[in-house]
Amino acid sequence: MGCGAGKQCFSYYHALEGDADITGTDVSESLLAQAREENKKVNNAINFQQLDFNQPFDLPSDSFDLVSACFAIYYAQDIPFTLSEMHRVLKPGGRLMVSDLVLLRDLPADLKESIEAYVGCIAGALPITQYETGLGDAGFTDVTITRTITVGDAVHSAIIKATKPANG
């Protein structure tokens, strides 16, 4: 999800030696065009398609073993909805892995409204407790949020993992 020009998809493809069906999605058609061009080097082994985090995903339910997103979910206007859609497309027992920015506390209003903070991916970041609640409300279990790098006073990058229960 939010694959951009496909770098993460190609990393998965090479790490798995092509032994996986990989679908990369992004809202930007120009980035997807770059990914499709690069995809020619691996015989178009990866499926790339447009996806808007703010709309129901045009992907079948219960179809993916892994959904990953790298610093992209904060572009969603309704992150709980996006997390629910991620849960929907995962197979029972499937895993979610996200790298994102998380907040230890709410941002001041002026920073939340700052275009620089939005472009810098900070304005759309969720408080860590909202991420935990949102994942649980979406139906995920085994949620872990591991803070990695301190970006600012209350902002951290984090690795977020969760599982769709085997019983759905």
**43 found inside a domain:** yes
**52 found inside a domain:** yes
Kindly tell me the sign of the dihedral angle through the C-alpha atoms of 166, 163, 78, 89. negative
Measured CA to CA, the distance from residue 138 to residue 85 in angstroms comes to 8
**168 found inside a domain:** no
CATH number at residue 137: 3.40.50.150
Number of domains comprising the chain? 1
Domain that holds residue 106: 7-163
Q: Give residue 115's pLDDT.
A: 47
- List, for residues 107-151, the tens digit of each pLDDT value: 656 655 554 555 455 656 778 888 899 999 999 999 999 999 887
Q: What is the pTM of this model?
A: 0.87
- List, for residues 27-63, the tens digit of each pLDDT value: 999 999 999 999 999 999 999 999 998 999 999 999 9
Measured CA to CA, the distance from residue 79 to residue 11 in angstroms comes to 26
**2 found inside a domain:** no
**108 found inside a domain:** yes
